[in-house]
Amino acid sequence: MEKKLYRSKTNKKIAGVCGGVGEYLGVDPTIIRLIWVIIALCAGCGLLAYIIALIIMPDQPEA
């Protein structure tokens, strides 16, 4: 089965981007959220990357 990257409908806090990345990588989405916040605070590009991912990533299809 081919893995595809989708925004999560079940594991989301804001828009499901971090939940979808976590499900795709097989990692706890909380870890992805923490990494994303650290990148946003240190590098300043995390918020822009999140908005771009929100626009580009499709919603998870219904089962």
Read off the pLDDT of residues 7-30 as tens digits, 9 standing for 90 and up. 888 888 888 888 888 989 999 999
- Pair 23, 11: CB distance under 8 Å: yes
pLDDT at 52 over 80: yes
Cα three-residue angle 43-30-4, rounded to 5 degrees: 90
pLDDT at 62 over 80: no
- Pair 6, 57: CB distance under 8 Å: yes
